[in-house]
Amino acid sequence: MTPVTHDLVHATQNAFGTGSLAAQIPFGLYVFKRLLSVGVKSIFGVPGDYNLRLLEHMYDDSLRDSNGGTLEWVGCCNELNAAYAADGYSRYTNGIGSVITTFGVGELGAISGLAGACSEDVKVLHIVGIVDYEISNQNPEMRLRNVHHLVPRLNDSNFVGPDYRIYSEMVRDKIACSAEYLDDLSTACDKVDKVIEDIYKYSKPGYIFVPCTFVDQLVSSRNLVERPTITLQDSVTKTSPDEARKLTNKILDLLYRSSTPAIVGDVFCDRYGLTKELNDFINRTGIVSFSSVMGKSVVDESSPLYMGLYSGKGHVGSVIEKFLSCDLVLHFGIEKNEINYGNYSYTYKPDAKVVELHPAYVRFYDHLSKEEEIYRNVNFVDILRLLGEKIEVPRLSLHYDSKFTPYNPDDLKLDEIDFGNDETSDITQVYLQKHLPGSLNPGDVLISDTGSFQFSIRDFKLPSQVKYIAQSIYLSIGMALPAALGVAKGMKDYPNLHILDYGKIEPGYQPRLILLEGDGAAQMTAQELSTIVRHQLPMEIFLWNNNGYTIERVIEGPTRAYNDIAPWKWTKLLEVFGDFDGKLSRSSTLETRSQLLKKLSELKSRYSKNRKGIDFMEVRLATMDVPSQLSGLVKDLMKR
């Protein structure tokens, strides 16, 4: 490796005419400096020959802060897992989650993780190290070469050179809000910045394709000097002040005339960093709140104003009843899809007025008159802030009747459908649903994989500031396990970032990370447990062992072999994956209710201040045992 010169600091003139210090630095270093500047402390990925020279720049001393802190590489077992981990990192930190892969073999392995991030509005940056024959000034004959990792042309590949951009065209305008194939070093830094800004702006993934020969070439660090960081706040679409005022007044008018308004906290509130603002607004105004499936845990469920999760037909009659009594619904951060909209069964009080607030529009809809007004190019970020400033609480005239009681999971009547009768009974998903929420402490982070149990979590009443993370619409099984790696790394890099009100957290409490994982899902991505062990990331893992794809069995083929999976010795998994002498983890099997309760209580109280190691609980469940929320949904889907 030839040492690169990047200490050549010289004064330069920035675009705005003010003088500032900029240096010539290798482009690879620029990339990492920029990532560090936006708060990225961990990068997930897999090395490959087209990204190795890029990775080398991660070790540059200038990336070290005064405490020796720097970017950490988190090597994953495979690229799909790395993408999921980056997704988890972003969901926890609400910043950029980064994944680095190599041309073709790596990037395509990760592609489903990126599609998931796109569907779920997660800020993932995918950096792909690519071959440079097309770009660099080499022998033009090189461009005819079919290089390794690059799929050749379907026809005439012995005569015609490959399409170097074939993979980038698979994602551009499809699953990435921004995708820059760097082919000109002089604009490369601007493009990196642009992709990061776009990721914040749209809360969707972005791609940067980096030719392996660019990374050692020198570029100006001017952008870093002129714009020391790129923030979410700077990047999002701005609403014109006039328009913001006008819309805010319009909403306030509706609010002042409403007696039973409701606030729905949906996914974009989380993604645009508005969780605190929204809860403050709810608390100050006394307006009741509902959550959505994708926005679960945005509104504080421990508040007496929390009425439950509404998603159309839903599951809890009392929640539906309350929602359908609201004459005004302010739906903050709305995302409309099959899951969030309850298979498009989302309805309102027949004469309700609805305001949909979204990063790109505000829509007013009057259910009685069927009149709608849509305002484009306005961002709910500005509107929510202005609402908070402008609202005159005394002008509200809220009149919620007696049915508007705080959400109470007792309304699920789980006792009536729970057939176990003593502590040696089998654990059921209904029993779990009754007891798991109580084992959570305020501030814990709960992540669930796609699967049958996930459907019951909607109706959990979460303690204050429990952050809940799950795929809601992409629903790719296996995602949560590597995502938990990313979340755990985020919690290490930024402890307590999700705690917005320390008054509600036990002083000094170190939040737990709890992963709920199906057995079929776990087999998809299980090897990433070894990365969790390797980095000694504390975590509690509940592995629902129900002998296969129970969620599919409910839909079709309950006893078919295609819904079976291979039996694994789950409690030995962490030993094989790196905890050779059992010092880093504790694995157990839970078969009875008493074993479960004992473990839940132990986990709730143990290690509250210095949590270490991994707790892995294999929970044995009956093959066809599912929460009633899922049976209801499937019945509904079958009707179509």
Which residues are part of a known binding site for Mg(2+)?
519, 546, 548
Closest CA to 284 of 211, 193, 388: 388
Give the nearest distance from C-beta 640 to a second copy in angstroms: 8
Q: How many residues bind a second copy (CB under 8 A)?
A: 98
For a second copy, the binding residues in 281-340 under the rule CB under 8 A are 334-339
Closer of 504 and 586 to a second copy (Cβ): 586
Q: Please name the residues in contact with 366: beta carbons below 8 A apart, sequence gap of 6 or more.
A: 353, 372
For a second copy, the binding residues in 534-553 under the rule CB under 8 A are 534, 549, 552
Is 632 a binder of a second copy (CB under 8 A)? no
Is 158 a binder of a second copy (CB under 8 A)? yes
Spatial contact of 247 and 338, defined as CB atoms under 8 Å apart:
no
Closest CA to 521 of 553, 489, 480, 558: 480
For a second copy, the binding residues in 225-244 under the rule CB under 8 A are none
CB atoms < 10 A from the CB of 187, how many?
A: 13
Binding residue positions for pyruvate: 49, 149, 200, 552
| Tokens, residue 306 | 């929390």
**Which H or E element spans position 91?**
helix 79-93
In angstroms, rounded to a whole number, what is the distance separating the alpha carbons of residues 315 and 337? 18
Q: Which stretch binds a second copy (CB under 8 A): 251-259, 438-446, 529-537, 538-546?
A: 529-537
Spatial contact of 440 and 600, defined as CB atoms under 8 Å apart:
no
Task: Identify the residue among 225, 360, 497, 597 touching a second copy (CB under 8 A).
Answer: 360
Give the nearest distance from C-beta 268 to a second copy in angstroms: 11
Closest CA to 516 of 442, 579, 583, 439: 439
Is 29 a binder of a second copy (CB under 8 A)? no
Q: What is the DSSP string of 624-635?
A: T---HHHHHHHH
Give the nearest distance from C-beta 148 to a second copy in angstroms: 5
Spatial contact of 289 and 281, defined as CB atoms under 8 Å apart:
no
Q: Which stretch binds a second copy (CB under 8 A): 32-40, 153-161, 395-403, 499-507?
A: 153-161
Binding residue positions: 49, 149, 200, 519, 546, 548, 552
Is 420 a binder of a second copy (CB under 8 A)? no
Is 112 a binder of a second copy (CB under 8 A)? yes
For a second copy, the binding residues in 55-94 under the rule CB under 8 A are 55-56, 58-59, 73, 75, 77-78, 80
Task: Identify the residue among 71, 177, 305, 619 touching a second copy (CB under 8 A).
Answer: 177
- Tell me how far CA of residue 49 lies from CA of 28, 44, 511, in angstroms: 15, 16, 39
Looking at this protein, which amino acid is placed at residue 218?
A: L
Is 474 a binder of a second copy (CB under 8 A)? yes
Q: What is the DSSP string of 205-267?
A: -EEEEEETTTTTSEEE-HHHHHSS---HHHHSPPPPHHHHHHHHHHHHHHHHH-SSEEEEE-H
Give the nearest distance from C-beta 152 to a second copy in angstroms: 6
- Angle at the Cα of 211 (from 155 to 194), degrees rounded to 5? 110
Is 618 a binder of a second copy (CB under 8 A)? no
In angstroms, rounded to a whole number, what is the distance separating the alpha carbons of residues 28 and 212? 9
Q: Say how many Å lie between the first and final Cα of the chain, rounded.
A: 62
Closer of 179 and 432 to a second copy (Cβ): 179
Is 48 a binder of a second copy (CB under 8 A)? yes
Give the nearest distance from C-beta 365 to a second copy in angstroms: 12
Task: Identify the residue among 203, 275, 476, 585 touching a second copy (CB under 8 A).
Answer: 476
Is 169 a binder of a second copy (CB under 8 A)? yes
Closer of 1 and 8 to a second copy (Cβ): 1
Give the nearest distance from C-beta 7 to a second copy in angstroms: 22
- What does the radius of gyration of the chain's CA atoms come to, in whole angstroms? 26
Give the nearest distance from C-beta 191 to a second copy in angstroms: 18
- Tell me how far CA of residue 99 lies from CA of 12, 115, 461, 513, in angstroms: 32, 14, 34, 22
In angstroms, rounded to a whole number, what is the distance separating the alpha carbons of residues 209 and 360? 28
Task: Identify the residue among 64, 284, 395, 572 touching a second copy (CB under 8 A).
Answer: 572
For a second copy, the binding residues in 197-226 under the rule CB under 8 A are 202, 204
Is 413 a binder of a second copy (CB under 8 A)? no
Task: Identify the residue among 477, 480, 596, 600 touching a second copy (CB under 8 A).
Answer: 477
Give the nearest distance from C-beta 302 to a second copy in angstroms: 30
* Total residues belonging to the chain: 640
